[in-house]
Amino acid sequence: MSHNPRPKPIEEDSRGILDPGLLRQRVRLTRYPVGSALSGLIDRFWAVEWDLPDGAVHNQQVLTHPCANLSVGNADACVTEGPAGHLEARLNGVARSLTTRALVGRGWAVAAMTTPGGLGAFISQPASVFTDRVVPLGESLGTDDEGLIAEISAQADQASRVEVLAAVLEVVIAATDPQRVDRAQQVGEVSRLAETDRSLRRLDDLCVAAGIGPRKLQRLFLEYAGVSPTWVLRRYRLMDAAEAVRHGQPVSWAGVATELGYADQAHLIRDFHGAIGKPPGAYAASVVTEVIGRTVPSRRELPI
């Protein structure tokens, strides 16, 4: 899988991962590149492994990219059905609010993170059906989850597990209508503009850059990404702002609000609080505390 550039390690890009330093202490996270068959549909593969003390729980908060995740691995400690730690194959649609995954004991997971829009190539329903939902992978992709779990769990290492998952997803795409694949890749390309071009601040800007009218772009995004193009623009900017704060850089929240087309700073603060779980000032204070080396035992200790 060497067609696309290798994804940046967490040390260089931790967007969406709250308290990435603590994660690195407790969890091994590795990102893998995508081969040509899934290019434009899958952004990256990732794999995690953890081995925590008996009775310990690691609660990892994530502000997700505007993407879905197709995964196989150990279930969260907070699952309501079945024993914690049992293996699951599932589709996590785009999560619009902060999510928390509880890790216990020893476990692992491998996943494919779609591009924004890539999910639409793997399913026959609109991607919006799966927004803010977690469903069995087979229910949405038609895969044999029991067989997939058995094959992946039989592998000896992360890279081999990723290879198996990639091969299954390539089979799904090979059977998909090429026009649907093309449209999913088109949405991914427009989303890439939203992610990387800081001059794009509003829907109209994105439409001009993409050469697509607003109504059509809205329909494409809801069908293939599951969220609106405006939401994608704002999510990436919020993630950028949070990442800047984590690195100790000053952030002008009034300036961010203006750039994103908010009516005023209060609306940005409301959205940031809803996404991160804290208002910008409180979030900045907690992260800066880590940057300058102060200790906050309640954040660092594992709850037992």
Q: Where are the domains of the chain?
A: 20-175, 179-291
Identify the CATH assignment for 179-291 out of 3.40.50.720, 3.40.50.10610, 1.10.10.60, 1.10.3720.10. 1.10.10.60
CA 48 to chain centre: 14
On whether the CB atoms of residues 208 and 217 are closer than 8 A, the answer is no
> Looking at the predicted structure, is the pLDDT value of residue 23 above 90?
no
On whether the CB atoms of residues 165 and 45 are closer than 8 A, the answer is yes
Q: What is the pLDDT of residues 1-11, one digit of tens each?
A: 434 677 887 77
- Model confidence band, residue 215 (pLDDT cutoffs 50, 70, 90): very high
Stated as kind and residue range, the H or E segment containing 260 is none
Residue of higher predicted confidence among 258 and 159:
159
Rounded CA-CA distance 219/228 in Å is 8
Rounded CA-CA distance 194/211 in Å is 13
φ, ψ at 241 (rounded to 5°): -65, -45
The helix/strand/coil state of 143 is coil
Q: What is the pLDDT of residues 122-140, one digit of tens each?
A: 999 999 999 999 999 999 9
CA 103, 107, 110: angle at the middle one, nearest 5? Answer: 100
Position 162 scores a pLDDT of 97
Neighbours of 211 (CB within 10 A): 8
Residue of higher predicted confidence among 169 and 261:
169
Residue of higher predicted confidence among 249 and 40:
40
pLDDT, mean of residues 83-105: 86
For every residue of 227-252, DSSP letters joined together read S-HHHHHHHHHHHHHHHHHHTT----
Side chain identity at 31, as an amino acid letter?
R
In the numeric block, which tokens belong to residue 48?
């995690």
Position 4 scores a pLDDT of 67
pTM beyond 0.75, yes or no = yes
Among the residue ranges 131-135, 222-226, 273-277, 290-294, the one predicted with the least confidence is 290-294
pLDDT, mean of residues 230-252: 78
Mean pLDDT of the chain: 84
